Amino acid sequence: MIIVVMGVSGAGKSTLGSALAKQLDWDFIEGDDYHSKRNIEKMRTGHALSDSDRRPWLIRLHQLITSYTVQHRNAVLACSALKKDYRDVLGHNITNIRYAYLCGEVRLFRERLKSRGHHYMPSDLLDSQIKALEPPEDALLVPMSLPTDEQIDLLRQAWAM
């Protein structure tokens, strides 16, 4: 199984994804690690990524997911996956993919982004992500305000893991 923990920046994708993967003894994939240097620099300088900027990144992640599936390995991927088209690229021909959508109040996303200084994504770009977001219809909704252990319990119960 591949679980994609998705949502806008500051939702807690990496925190939940890495904790879930550790608890399940699965691999954790940090989607941000697969952005091109050009994309990272673009975001670092306060410019939102376009669909064409994201496409090679999504294809790389899809290839990685496919390799896990072919090897019958489980993984948790932290990835914004903001639009349906992006999720379609990620999940193309993958039958064992599930989406956990971290949702919450914009105020909480902003607070988290302001408190994290180590990431290249400036908080100013949050509005562009919120504007681009197409909430998924086929995802498990996970409130970002819940403690991580409760989020994990919710996922494990919903997907019988």
* In the chain, where the domains are located: 2-154
Q: State the sign of the Cα–Cα–Cα–Cα dihedral 7, 99, 29, 63.
A: negative
Tally of CB atoms within 10 A around 57: 20
In this prediction, residue 116 has a pLDDT band, given cuts at 50, 70 and 90, of low
- The answer to whether 7 and 103 are in contact (CB under 8 A) is yes
CB-based burial label for 63 (10 Å; 0-12, 13-18, 19+): exposed
Per-residue pLDDT reduced to its tens digit, 122-151: 556 778 888 889 999 999 999 999 999 999
pLDDT at res. 123: 58
- The answer to whether 110 and 10 are in contact (CB under 8 A) is yes
- The answer to whether 17 and 23 are in contact (CB under 8 A) is no
- The answer to whether 15 and 148 are in contact (CB under 8 A) is yes
The yes-or-no verdict on residue 118 having pLDDT over 80 is no
Which of 52, 63, 57, 18 has the alpha carbon at shortest distance from 40? 57
The yes-or-no verdict on residue 119 having pLDDT over 60 is no
2-154 folds as: Rossmann fold (3.40.50)
The yes-or-no verdict on residue 36 having pLDDT over 60 is yes
57 contacts: CB under 8 Å, gap ≥ 6: 31, 34, 35, 36, 39
